Structure 1
Amino acid sequence: MNLNNLEDLKKEVKDLGFNPKVADELEKNMKPLPGHFTIKDQFPGDRGVVDMTLHFHKSGQSDTYNLNKYEVASGKVPPTVENQQYMVLTENKDNKEKPLVRTFESPNEAIDFFKKQKGNSELALGESPDSKQILASKENGKENYINKDFRSAYFRPAIKQTFYLKDGQGFNARQAANMVQDRTVFRDNMMTRDGEPYKAWVRLDFDQKKDDWGNHRFKQFHHPTFGFDLEKTLNAYKIKELADPAKKSEIMDAMRQGDRVQVTALNKENKEVKVMAEAVPRYSKLDFFNDSGVRQKREQFEKPLINNLSQGRGQGKGKEKELEESRGMKV
């Protein structure tokens, strides 16, 4: 095993923002020198867990490995509690009293595996098969039961996207987790096909047909061409934390990563309200949500003197100024 390569990969996954367990699992996966191996990771999401699968490929000319892509899936499945796991139980032809059990770190993978079963099977959650909660079941390959609290997660497919990396550069884990949750992130290290650097806000385009590899296309809002100014947009709202330069900087940094940030906003009655805010560069606005994820009317938090100006700015851009398609650009 190439120890320099191991050290480099540990730094790479750390710089990309993956959880420490990814770096911890690298050595044991590299030791047997397989041609390819994967490591799983998870991030919390607003609607459920965000699963990540990192792909490491061995060079054909040496014993070094590269992380060239990772797959991300965001569903509506809540994370498991401690000591519980998702499992699929299938019929054991050799012993009908003892079903075959396969466990999963990823609830989204468990659902996908269960849906492919042709015979009698169960999708369950629990510490063991003996203390399981049945979430769904099949008889002769057809669903005959879906837990009512699990139906939304089961019938609404997870949003999936593959993110590609080159020399450790690309969308980081935090950005990717936000993008599959329909949020926009800022990249200042992008390159055109001709090798020219540029900056842009980027989101996944869920309105267009996927590409030939099953990925959502990217929608870009170039900076400064498109005209979205995060600081000016923030200043158009009555947000208490903006009075503190350090907190304002933290909020801006988090929003560039695509985070939904908790802030204290003042409504029309000048009462403080704790809300979650996220940047929406497409319309030069912020969106606000309560603790339950329900969208709030942004107008109640706008500064009176800027209200009309900010509305006009968002409407004036519209779709006609969405220069993000820009042919010749890549991410």
Structure 2
Amino acid sequence: MRNPSNNSPELSAEKRGELLDFLRKEAHVKKTWINTQGKPVSDVIAALWCFNRDSDGNRPKNIQGLSSFKNALRIIYENLLIIKFMNTQNLEFLQSNLKYFGFGDKLNEALEKNISDQQKEFQLKLEIPHFNNKMDYTLHFKKSDSTDMYFFNRYDAAIQNDKSELNKNQTFYINKGNGVTAKEAYNLLEGRSVFRNLINRNGNPYSAWLKIDFENKDDKGNHKLKQFSEQYGYDLEKTLSNFPIKEMGSEEQKLMLISSLKKGNVQQVTMERDGSQSKYFIEAVPQYKNINVYDPKMNMVKRQTVQKENSIIEQSTGQKTAAKKEQKQDVDDSGPKKKQTRKKKLSV
């Protein structure tokens, strides 16, 4: 960075005060990035007092080293502009991240204050109502060990229900800006499945349905996540085509329906049977390669009662074919013993 000329105009009182406040904060957290002309932060701050004026507008007397710090002041100020620019970019990125993950802008002010205070790490809390439940979120932010950049690492999500036995919580991790959104966290804690684009440990992208395994926890006390990748064979669109869903007849509505179900939402649909239309709610169930169907009062409906007749026949035929294959496999696996028994029956 170039050194400003000794003939450069003096900084305004506002800029001097801004710089002084900044350096005080840096000294308070024992920063060592400023070492101008062999002077530590504390000495530079002491010298900067010479740029403040008293209530009468006069500068303090007996100032030492004023001339030697004029250039230092401008160099530091240019560094300050760079740091402030980086911090602003970091803040805007984090605020954008919060919006993407569904936390809105309610935390923006608190986020800016904590970053301005140069906290090593901090947490922000937010409550979001969902129907008869509410979600409590605790967002974790941490400062880099090597720079002034902050990162949104993870958040804790807890669902609060009228019945305490239904309360659940889970920690969701953010990997390079990728992770489960606030609404998806709610759906997962409700027991539904969510389709996500993920990144494995080697940094390679892949897609999978996620479902919380409430029966098992990892070594950190977090519920394990079941994953059903594309190789698992769950085709949501094909599954939906087995039902007389009116929305599937419109390309736009079909895409919206599939997108909503992939987020783990319970989605209302219209089913047409025998010339009449009825409202139902459905949710994706990738683990069993199907969907759940509910009536308007959220009572479970037997799929066979609303499924297309031809799809029921196809499903039944498929089950019989699978059963025959299983029986054939049992015969093949039994080997010569089975064949010998059959010969005896034939001879009789």
Fold match by TM threshold 0.5: yes
Structure 1 CA distance, aligned partners of 2:146 and 2:159?
A: 36
Q: Distance in 2 between matches of 1:173 and 1:311?
A: 39
Q: Say which is worse superposed, 175-184 or 291-300, in terms of deviation.
A: 291-300
Equivalent pairs: percent with the same residue? 35
| Other-structure match for 2:301 | 296
* 1:18-57 → structure 2 map (5 Å cutoff): 18-45=103-130, 48-57=133-142
Aligned mates of 2:151, 2:124 — CA distance in 1: 13
Shift of 1:53: 1.3
The match for 2:339 is: none
* 1:60 pairs with one of 145, 150, 154: 145
Q: Which amino acid aligns with 1:34?
A: Q
Question: Counterpart in 2 of 1:166?
Answer: 175
Alpha-carbon distance in structure 1 between the residues aligned to 2:88 and 2:169: 33
Partner SS state of residue 217, structure 2: coil
Judged with a 3 Å threshold, the aligned counterparts in structure 2 of structure 1 residues 273 and 55 are, in CA distance, closer, same or farther, namely same
Unaligned runs of 5+ in 2: 1-83, 324-348
Summarize the alignment of residues 1-331 of structure 1 with structure 2, pairs less than 5 Å apart.
2-45=87-130, 48-77=133-162, 153-154=163-164, 156=165, 158-188=167-197, 190-207=198-215, 209-223=216-230, 225-266=231-272, 271-310=276-315
Q: CA deviation at 1:309?
A: 2.8
The alpha-carbon distance between structure 1 residues 23 and 202, as it changes in their structure 2 partners (threshold 3 A), is same
Cα RMSD (Å) of the superposition? 2.4
Q: Deviations over 1:237-269 (max 9, x none)?
A: 1111111111111001111111111111235x5
The answer to whether the 8 Å contact 1:45/1:74 transfers is no
Q: Which amino acid in structure 1 is aligned with residue 229 of structure 2? A: H
Assess, with a 3 A threshold, how the Cα gap between structure 1 residues 204 and 62 changes in structure 2: closer, same or farther.
same
TM-score, length basis structure 2: 0.62
Structure 1 residues 166 and 22, CA gap change in structure 2 (3 angstroms) = same
Aligned 8 A contact 1:284 1:313 in 2: no
Q: Please tell me the residue identity of whatever aligns with 1:232.
A: K
Partners of 1:270 and 1:75 in 2: CA distance: 42
Structure ID, larger Rg: 2
| Alignment CA distance shift 1:161-1:310 (3 Å) | farther
Deviation at 1:213, TM superposition (A): 1.2
CA deviations 1:91-150 (Å, max 9, x no partner) are xxxxxxxxxxxxxxxxxxxxxxxxxxxxxxxxxxxxxxxxxxxxxxxxxxxxxxxxxxxx
Tell me the secondary structure at the aligned position of residue 148 of structure 2.
coil
Q: State the 1:311 CA deviation.
A: 5.9
With over 3 angstroms needed to count, the CA separation of the structure-2 counterparts of 1:303 and 1:16, relative to structure 1, is: same
Tell me, what secondary structure is at the counterpart of 1:206?
strand
CA contact (8 A) 1:50 1:74 kept: yes
Distance 1:294 1:20, change over 3 A: farther
Q: Provide the secondary structure at the position in 2 that maps to 1:21.
A: coil
Tell whether the 8 Å contact from 1:47 to 1:75 is kept in structure 2 after alignment. Answer: no
Q: How many residues align?
A: 237
Q: C-alpha displacement at 1:171, in angstroms?
A: 1.7
Q: Give 1:4's aligned amino acid.
A: Q
Change (3 A) 1:53 1:307: same
Contact 1:43-1:49 within 8 A present in 2 as well: yes
Q: Distance in 1 between matches of 2:254 and 2:181?
A: 22
Return the structure number with greater relative CO, CA threshold 8 A, min gap 6.
Answer: 1
Q: Distance in 2 between matches of 1:27 and 1:232?
A: 47
1:16 deviates by 2.1
Q: Is the 8 A contact 1:283 1:314 kept in 2?
A: no
Give the deviation of 1:11 after TM superposition: 1.4
CA 22–293 in structure 1, closer or farther in 2 if over 3 Å, else same: farther
Q: Structure 1 160/55 Cα, relative in aligned 2: closer, same or farther at 3 Å?
A: same
Cα distance between partner residues in 1 of 2:311 and 2:224? 34
Task: Point out the structure with the larger helix share.
Answer: 2
